Amino acid sequence: MEMSLLKSYSDQITLKKLVSTNNCRVGDSAGYGNAMVLYEKFGDAADVMYMCEYKAPHKLKSAEDIVIQVQASNVTMTDCLIRGNSWYKQAPLPNTVGSDCVGRVYGVGRAAFKSGVRPGDKVAAISRYLGGSAKFTTVEREDIIPVPDGIHPSIAVSIIRNYVTAYQNLYRCPAYPMERTDRVLIIGADEAPGEAAVELAILGGAQVYATARSAKHPYLQSLGAKTFSHKDEWLSRVEGRMDLVIDYVGEDGFESSHAALDEEGQLVCVGIKQNGGTGADLFGISAMSKWTRFRANFVLPRSYFYDIFESIEDDRDTFVRDAQRLFKLYTFGKISPKISHTIALSEIATFHQQLEMGEVKGTVVCDPQIECSKDTPRSSINEHSQRRSKINEANYNACLGLSYDDETKSLYSMKIRNKNDEVVNKYWDDATIETNESDYF
């Protein structure tokens, strides 16, 4: 792997912005307790990103703070847009790369400790400027999400970012949550959340149409999706027919994706097309990304722009509930996250460039504990997924409090209560046990 893209230098003025210590050094990780990938100005990955390694105490800023020893973080196109100032909100500088992470609690503030957080707890965190591309990061107590011990960190971070995004795109839309037998079009199904959306939509009983590179078609078809490659190929076949369209690309300002909707369909816009270079052209913020978001929310009818960061800020309880639901689905073998690349911190700049050029698709996870070397063994995350404990259907249903009705051939629960605390006998299909749970607590 070519590593020359990531700069390293030990500017003491730079480091004082980041750590309160003079014991700083760059370029040799031996004996140094922390490392982070960051930038001090917006621009191309090769020009502005560098890795800082330093030896410093991990101090808590307040009694509510928690230090996480990071085990995995996603490398995403959103990170590229933020770094290039092509996102619709401008990042504060300097900015440490990475907007999510999964790891173990390393340090706990007094108030956080009293609330039950303990060193060694496995947790996740997600926010725009989290700084997850580091060996350690500090978050507030209220920002952590518990993660089951039995789930590999790379799988867990994929679920937190990609599967929660996909699940909420399908079921948390303001006007049109997906229902069984809906016709669903997923544009950009070779993107990380797009793959998850295909899997979850099929699990929920939808008829799924997916656009992706031809190399991805066999996998998507194995899940049960009908696949297309180019807009000229799919638009004529689905135009005016789709109940729900999720666009992870934003190629033409969502024009073609909106044209695919039927008269009552809903469009969920997620992707923002990168416009190249730094996007600061309107008060320091990308005008194109601002317009894309505004158009999706206010110009196009039956359209909604989804931002995972706003989702967790607006309704954290629902976000955490959705994450726990998806952890459960993984544990019971209902979903199978795929990791396309596991990389070191020193490879992030290279992968930023490859993501921007479209050379890399799928889920890219950074493991900050590994060093970049041709001889470095990469843990096989997908093999871990296959080796996870298999629980038979009877135990799966029993764990959810479900039983089987011979007459209707359906699963139902006698213990689910609605918001008025009334017991309901709602029939479930196995594929929609979790997805229909949004009506209940």
pLDDT for res 391: 33
Q: What percent of the chain has pLDDT over 70?
A: 70
pLDDT tens-digit series, residues 84-111? 998 888 899 999 999 999 999 999 999 9
pLDDT for res 86: 86
Q: How much is the average pLDDT of 237-265?
A: 90
pLDDT for res 250: 82
CATH at 342: 3.90.180.10
Structural domain span for residue 191: 174-305
pLDDT tens-digit series, residues 256-295? 999 999 988 999 999 776 444 444 454 445 566 666 777 7
CATH at 251: 3.40.50.720
Residue at which a domain ends, from 305, 325, 357: 305
43-47, 57-61, 345-349: range with lowest mean pLDDT? 57-61
Q: Does one domain contain both 110 and 218? A: no
Q: Does one domain contain both 14 and 135? A: yes
Overall pTM surpassing 0.75 (yes/no):
yes
pLDDT higher than threshold 50 for residue 370: yes
Q: Does one domain contain both 61 and 111? A: yes
pLDDT higher than threshold 60 for residue 23: no
Dihedral sign, CA of 32, 37, 38, 44?
positive
| In a domain? residue 129 | yes
Q: Does one domain contain both 236 and 114? A: no
Q: How much is the average pLDDT of 57-64?
A: 78
Average model confidence (pLDDT) across the chain = 77
* Long-range contacts formed by 289-294: CB under 8 A, 24+ apart: 289/81, 289/86, 289/87, 289/88, 290/88, 292/88, 292/250, 292/253, 292/254, 293/88
Q: Are 88 and 111 in contact (CB under 8 A)?
A: no
Strands (E), 376-425: 402-405, 410-413
* Separation of alpha carbons 229 and 299, rounded Å: 28
231-235, 297-301, 419-423: range with lowest mean pLDDT? 419-423
Highest-confidence segment of 50-54, 286-290, 363-367:
363-367
Q: Does one domain contain both 134 and 195? A: no
Indicate the SS3 state at residue 393.
Answer: helix
Rama region for 276: left / alpha / beta (φ>0; ψ in -120 to 50; rest): left
pLDDT for res 4: 38
pLDDT tens-digit series, residues 127-165? 999 999 999 999 999 999 999 999 999 999 999 999 999
Q: Does one domain contain both 197 and 255? A: yes
Give the residue ranges of DSSP H helices in 380-422.
381-387, 393-399
| Residue located via tokens 């209707």 | 408
Q: Does one domain contain both 135 and 19? A: yes
Strand partners, 410: 405
Q: Does one domain contain both 19 and 124? A: yes
Q: Are 194 and 206 in contact (CB under 8 A)?
A: no
Q: Does one domain contain both 20 and 51? A: yes
Q: How much is the average pLDDT of 346-355?
A: 93
Nearest residue to 307 (alpha-carbon basis) of 70, 82, 137: 82
pLDDT for res 287: 65
Angle at 164 between CA 259 and CA 335, to 5 degrees: 100
pLDDT higher than threshold 50 for residue 423: no
Binned at pLDDT 50, 70 and 90, residue 46 comes out as: confident
| In a domain? residue 322 | no
Indicate the SS3 state at residue 345.
Answer: helix
Residue at which a domain ends, from 375, 396, 423: 375
| In a domain? residue 159 | no
pLDDT for res 22: 33
pLDDT for res 416: 31
46-60, 353-367, 394-408: range with lowest mean pLDDT? 394-408
pLDDT for res 372: 53
Q: How many domains does the chain have?
A: 2
Q: Does one domain contain both 144 and 196? A: no
Residue at which a domain ends, from 280, 305, 330: 305
Q: Does one domain contain both 196 and 287? A: yes
pLDDT for res 44: 92
Q: Does one domain contain both 220 and 90? A: no
76-80, 287-291, 346-350: range with lowest mean pLDDT? 287-291
